[in-house]
Amino acid sequence: MSHYANQVLSFRSYDVEFHPHTHGHLQIVLPVAGAMEIDIERRGKILDASVGAVIMPNFRHGQVAQGANRFLVVDLAASDTTTNGLADRFTLDPYFRISTALRRLVDYIELSAQRSSWMASNAAMCMPLLLDAIANSGGHHSRLDGLAKQLEDSIHRRWTVTDMAIAAGVSSSRLHSLFKTAFGQSPNRYLAALRLSHALRMLSSTNVPVSQVAQDTGYSDQSALTRAMRTALGTTPAKFRRHLQ
């Protein structure tokens, strides 16, 4: 289990100066607005709405950005147990594609953090989802991009794996293989993360009753949403909303 005292979320902006440096902790950089060019151990990339980066401890890196920009940065102590798992995934290739679910989660954190006290008291609740989405991010796959758009646009629908396979134009077994390759997880797990990120956004930005939030995001009922939030975040929809007030 990760120790949240060793995990810190913050928002940062960068400028045109290039200052290569290293640090002893792991750092995850997630674009919120704008873009920047980053170099990690001589591997360069443009970070924008579709690409993020994991910088391993003591990896030399620097960045240059022009124009307005804003990034969500996750700092993990080298002693955090999560760091080892991310090292296995990102040491050779520090860049990852930002999935729809991860994009939604970043947007939700950015929106909620506009309340001055939110980050200190609630960021830890989002950390498990955030780290899981990053660890399971994958490469580009146009067939799955089309399906992801359909899931995004009709998250209220009671999707089955068969439904998703038909929408993607592949067999159910092939769909599992594509998701494992692209996102490191099953279609159902991807869908569950997407549903939860939609529900969190509705809970934080609207006054819609919890029962309606559950219905609009594809849960069978309010109890199903409550169970999902207890499992992922250790809280309930009502408590989550109260934290934001």
| 239 and 175 inside one domain | yes
pLDDT tens, residue order, the chain (245 aa): 334 445 788 899 998 888 889 999 999 999 998 999 999 998 888 898 888 999 999 999 999 988 889 999 999 888 877 777 787 778 888 988 888 778 888 888 888 877 767 776 676 777 888 888 887 665 545 567 778 888 888 999 999 999 999 998 889 999 998 887 776 678 998 898 888 888 888 888 889 999 999 999 999 999 999 999 888 888 899 988 887 65
* Residue 148 confidence (pLDDT): 81
Range of the domain at 165: 142-244
Which long-range CB contacts under 8 A does 232-236 form with residues at least 24 apart? 232/128, 232/129, 232/196, 233/125, 233/126, 233/128, 233/129, 234/125, 235/125
| 94 and 146 inside one domain | no
Q: 3-class SS at 11?
A: strand
Q: What is the sign, positive or negative, of the torsion defined by CA atoms of 85, 86, 92, 98?
A: positive
CATH of the domain at 220: 1.10.10.60
Residue 174 lies in a domain: yes
CA 132 to chain centre: 7
Give the residue from 98, 132, 156 where a domain finishes: 98
Number of domains in the chain: 2
Give the residue from 41, 64, 98 where a domain finishes: 98
| 157 and 217 inside one domain | yes
Q: What is the dihedral of CA 59, 64, 70, 72, to 10 degrees?
A: -10
* Residue 153 confidence (pLDDT): 86
CA nearest to 90, candidates 65, 59, 124, 129: 59
Residue 49 lies in a domain: yes
Residue 127 lies in a domain: no
Task: Round to whole Å and give the CA distance between 59 and 61.
Answer: 6
CATH of the domain at 88: 2.60.120.10
Residue 123 lies in a domain: no
Q: Which pTM was predicted?
A: 0.60
DSSP 159: -
Tokens representing 219 are: 């849960």
Residue 195 lies in a domain: yes
Task: Round to whole Å and give the CA distance between 63 and 20.
Answer: 8
Sheet holding 36-40, edge to edge: 43-47, 36-40, 61-64
Indicate the helix (H) or strand (E) that contains 118.
Answer: helix 118-135
